[in-house]
Amino acid sequence: MKQFFPRLAALVARLLELSPADVEPLLATPKHPDHGDVALPCFALATKLGRKGKDAAPALAAEVAAKTGQGEPLVRAVEAAGPFVNFRLAPEVVAREVLEAAWSVARYGGSDAGAGKTVVIDFSSPNIAKPFHLGHLRSTVIGWSLRQIFRARGYTVVGVNHLGDWGTQFGLMIAAWKRWGDEAQRRIDAGEDEIDVFVDLYVRINGLKKQDPQVAEEGRGWFRRLEAGDDEARALWRFFVDKSKAEFARIYEVLGITHESDAGEAFYNDKMPATVAMLERTGLLVEGKSRLEQVEDARGALERLLAAIDRLEGEVAAATDEKERKAKQKDLDKAKGKKGDLAKRVQALEAQVAAPVGEDAGDDDDEGAGPADRRPRGVLVDLGNKKEPFFAILLKADGGTTYTTRDLTAVRYRAETYRPEQILYVVGNTQRDHFVPWFKIVEKLAEKGEGWAQGLRLEHVGFGNYLGMSTRKGTAVFLDEVLERARAAARTAAESAEKKIQLNDEQRERVARAIGTGAIKFFDLKGNRTNDIDLSPLTDAGGQPDAGIAWDRLLNLKGDSGPYLQFAHARLAGILRRSEQPIAADGVDWALLGDPEAQALIKTIADFPDRVRQAADEYEPSLISRYLLDLAQRIHVFLHERRVLEPRPEEGDVAAVRRARLLLVGAAKKVLAEALDLLGIEAVEQM
Ligand code: ARG
């Protein structure tokens, strides 16, 4: 009901000789419909007017209630309830203003708030030669929805796919291909999924590497050649990149998703030296400790701790005073508690030092890689939670760059290329510890006078995991399975439709796709993004062995699902098809939309633009999801209580009632489709 706030504020302000700006921020929509359409709490106003005492607010409310209303067509009734003024708006005015606005503009939820501004959204960002896992699926779905939401707000959006296409793992991949490439190619030719074959190779070469240090050296050699631009290495890397991208493209095609840029990590290779130079110039780049030094430190700390334990044990035994003994015992327990962790840390560091130079556990970006006596370089960041600042490694002991170096290089490039107001990183909650420190580095660079970093807003848009579902099969397989089941759901829907609908094969496949992808997207977007998504079945239906996923919840035509919303849309479309009558806002008798069900639906429609704003402000597509469920619910109630095409004669002139209700149906359908589009879900006309 926000669209009416300015006018109500002006009304009250005039009465009290205040400025509308004093009043408007106080207005609110009451939770309970009994409290009217708009409420004005009077505490702040009483203070503003210099009225004191606990009766000031109720008195003011009574005064406002008594004075408003006369001759104001928007206001049907005003009531003071304690310190609140409750306004009830005139149903025919609400109907006219909301429906005219919703019907006349191309995008009712849109605005020009972001006009002239750009937002970069880093989303999806899978890794080459590795599975596109469900985390990437979530990033893809959430990122796309944010793209739609920001576009609706008038922003220019640059969606970037920050592909993981660089790193030492490619050296090993090439080494693997050199060994087993012929066999791998045969498997691919025989129709096996390329990424599956790549992942197999990667697992195999890592296994071999553990037994044979020579393999690690081979991998490093290939990575060096790759970095030096060696033809053979480049060609194989290209091959992995192309094949992986082709598979990702298939997934994006099914989901209906595109990016404006797919500049991955490799894109920044030639820009990395400038990042290092910038950090040196600003004095932020410092040397960290070599692994040998870290071992020494940890050993020293452990020795000191053991000595302290010895000393405390003696002191506890010697203590004469009970209070003193207790205090010492407490210190002793604390010291003993630390011992295990510290000993483990020493061991881990020793193992790292003992490992061959540059050797690592197969982690692509192991920051401990490189000679044990050489120091990595990085930036000290105060995270405010520990005594010691955090050391963000930018150049490993072997001189190689890290994930962080590549992100710093990318952020500068994006800032300079797109001049965005903000950059969103749609990446799982688990990477919080990666983003927080380097966001701070960007802040420091801004303070040091780096213009590109100034006023730049960086936001880690995190999200939870999928639970109750194995990711082993990979996203492509999951999508295929969902689509297959969506086909069945689409068949059921078509058969149970009130009026049988005839779809040809192509149409049916389109609907199945829309339902299948709609189901996945809505399931992903329906809860707060930072929550985990639980797809495990609520009940183990008959203990089926493959009861791995709650398909019934995902594709439920009647529950909180994408297909349920699509079904609501198709239902409205069906009514409009059968009406065979154009919809128009002029000539409507607005008083015919005064019934409670129509009013509830109209007021829900009125909430849409503000909900879109909020979703953008909070980077939270679930606000749209919840809105959609609410809207669909009100649509169903309206259709259940009120007949659109054949109104009852006692409701008024039949043609006029039909005409008014058709406009409402048209506006509801339009807003439903628009909101679905903000989630990347297709609104189907028939299903
Ligand atoms: N490729 C990374 C992963 O799969 C995600 C990259 C996210 N974007 C970024 N700029 N760091 O974990």
Let me know: does 170 contact 141? Beta carbons within 8 Å: no
Statement: residue 35 has pLDDT above 80: yes
Residues 6+ apart with CB under 8 A from 430: 465
Cross-strand pairs, 41 = 84
For residues 233 and 218, give the distance between their C-alpha atoms in angstroms, rounded to a whole number: 12
What pLDDT is attached to residue 553?
78
Residue 181, domain member (yes or no) = yes
| Minimum CA distance residue for ligand 1 atom 8 | 162
Does the CB atom of residue 427 touch ligand 1 within 6 A? Answer: yes
Domain end (from 47, 63, 89):
89
Statement: residue 104 has pLDDT above 70: yes
Domain end (from 347, 375, 403):
375
Q: Calculate how far, in angstroms, residue 507's C-alpha sits from the geometric centre of ligand 1.
A: 37
What's 21's domain CATH number? 3.30.1360.70
| Minimum CA distance residue for ligand 1 atom 6 | 125
What's 568's domain CATH number? 1.10.730.10
Closest ligand 1 atom to residue 410 Cα is 10
Structure tokens at 140: 């893809």
> Are both 221 and 302 inside the same structural domain?
no
Handedness of CA 500, 501, 506, 510 (dihedral sign): negative
Q: Calculate how far, in angstroms, residue 196's C-alpha sits from the geometric centre of ligand 1.
A: 20
pLDDT digits (tens, 9 = 90+) for 525-583: 999 999 998 877 655 555 454 446 677 777 877 788 999 999 999 999 999 999 988 89
SS3 499: coil
pLDDT digits (tens, 9 = 90+) for 364-423: 556 767 788 899 999 999 988 777 899 999 998 888 888 999 999 999 999 999 999 999
Handedness of CA 585, 590, 594, 599 (dihedral sign): positive
> Are both 246 and 298 inside the same structural domain?
no
> Are both 567 and 672 inside the same structural domain?
yes
Statement: residue 359 has pLDDT above 60: no
Q: Which of 196-205, 353-362, 547-556 reaches the highest mean pLDDT? A: 196-205
For residues 249 and 264, give the distance between their C-alpha atoms in angstroms, rounded to a whole number: 15
> Are both 240 and 174 inside the same structural domain?
yes
Structure tokens at 307: 């000595």
Q: Among 427, 430, 439, 465, which is best to mutate for testing ligand 1, by the most ligand atoms less than 8 A from CB? A: 427
Domain ranges, residue 612: 562-678
Does the CB atom of residue 607 touch ligand 1 within 6 A? Answer: no
Structure tokens at 563: 């297909």
pLDDT digits (tens, 9 = 90+) for 587-622: 899 999 999 999 999 999 999 999 999 999 999 999
The residue to which tokens 């829309």 are assigned: 514
For residues 8 and 40, give the distance between their C-alpha atoms in angstroms, rounded to a whole number: 10
Q: Among 142, 162, 195, 411, which is best to mutate for testing ligand 1, by the most ligand atoms less than 8 A from CB? A: 162
Residue 522, domain member (yes or no) = no
Residue 652, domain member (yes or no) = yes
Domain end (from 89, 112, 139):
89
Closest ligand 1 atom to residue 163 Cα is 1
> Are both 308 and 237 inside the same structural domain?
no
Count how many domains the chain has.
4
Q: In what order do the strands lie in the sheet with 38-41?
A: 38-41, 84-89, 75-81
Residue 454, domain member (yes or no) = no
Does the CB atom of residue 127 touch ligand 1 within 6 A? Answer: yes
For residues 251 and 196, give the distance between their C-alpha atoms in angstroms, rounded to a whole number: 15
| Radius of gyration for the alpha carbons in the chain, expressed in angstroms and rounded | 32
Which has the minimum average pLDDT: 335-349, 507-521, 544-558, 588-602? Answer: 544-558
- Cβ of 680: how many Cβ atoms within 10 Å? 24
Residue 685, domain member (yes or no) = no
Q: Calculate how far, in angstroms, residue 407's C-alpha sits from the geometric centre of ligand 1.
A: 9
Residue 525 sits at φ, ψ, to 5 deg, of -100, 0
Q: Calculate how far, in angstroms, residue 134's C-alpha sits from the geometric centre of ligand 1.
A: 13
Q: How many helices (H) and strands (E) does the chain have?
A: 22, 12
Q: Calculate how far, in angstroms, residue 607's C-alpha sits from the geometric centre of ligand 1.
A: 35
Does the CB atom of residue 62 touch ligand 1 within 6 A? Answer: no
For residues 561 and 568, give the distance between their C-alpha atoms in angstroms, rounded to a whole number: 11
SS3 380: strand
Does the CB atom of residue 162 touch ligand 1 within 6 A? Answer: yes
Distance set, CA 309 to CA 225, 304, 318 (Å): 52, 9, 14
Give the mean pLDDT of the chain.
89
Closest ligand 1 atom to residue 434 Cα is 11
Does the CB atom of residue 551 touch ligand 1 within 6 A? Answer: no
> Are both 225 and 299 inside the same structural domain?
no
> Are both 669 and 575 inside the same structural domain?
yes
Residue 417, domain member (yes or no) = no
Residue 6 sits at φ, ψ, to 5 deg, of -55, -40
Cα 231-232-238 angle, rounded to 5 deg = 85
Residues shown for the chain: 687
Q: Which of 512, 557, 554 is nearest to 533 (CA)?
A: 554
Q: Calculate how far, in angstroms, residue 388's C-alpha sits from the geometric centre of ligand 1.
A: 27
Structure tokens at 179: 């060994």
Q: Which of 685, 659, 682, 678 is nearest to 103 (CA)?
A: 659
For residues 195 and 129, give the distance between their C-alpha atoms in angstroms, rounded to a whole number: 6
For residues 605 and 594, give the distance between their C-alpha atoms in angstroms, rounded to a whole number: 15
| Minimum CA distance residue for ligand 1 atom 5 | 125
Q: Calculate how far, in angstroms, residue 552's C-alpha sits from the geometric centre of ligand 1.
A: 32
Q: Are strands 422-426 and 390-395 parallel, antiparallel or unpaired?
A: unpaired
Angle at which helices 596-618 and 654-678 cross, to 10°: 20
Cα 382-383-384 angle, rounded to 5 deg = 90
> Are both 656 and 566 inside the same structural domain?
yes
Residue 427, domain member (yes or no) = no
DSSP element (H, E) containing 40: strand 38-41
SS3 18: coil
What pLDDT is attached to residue 410?
97
> Are both 578 and 648 inside the same structural domain?
yes
What pLDDT is attached to residue 500?
61
> Are both 238 and 336 inside the same structural domain?
no
What pLDDT is attached to residue 545?
45
Q: Calculate how far, in angstroms, residue 428's C-alpha sits from the geometric centre of ligand 1.
A: 9
pLDDT digits (tens, 9 = 90+) for 256-300: 999 999 999 999 999 999 999 999 999 999 999 998 999 999 999
Residue 407, domain member (yes or no) = no
What pLDDT is attached to residue 235?
96
Let me know: does 465 contact 532? Beta carbons within 8 Å: yes
What pLDDT is attached to residue 239?
95
Going by pLDDT thresholds of 50, 70 and 90, the confidence category of residue 354 is confident
Does the CB atom of residue 267 touch ligand 1 within 6 A? Answer: no
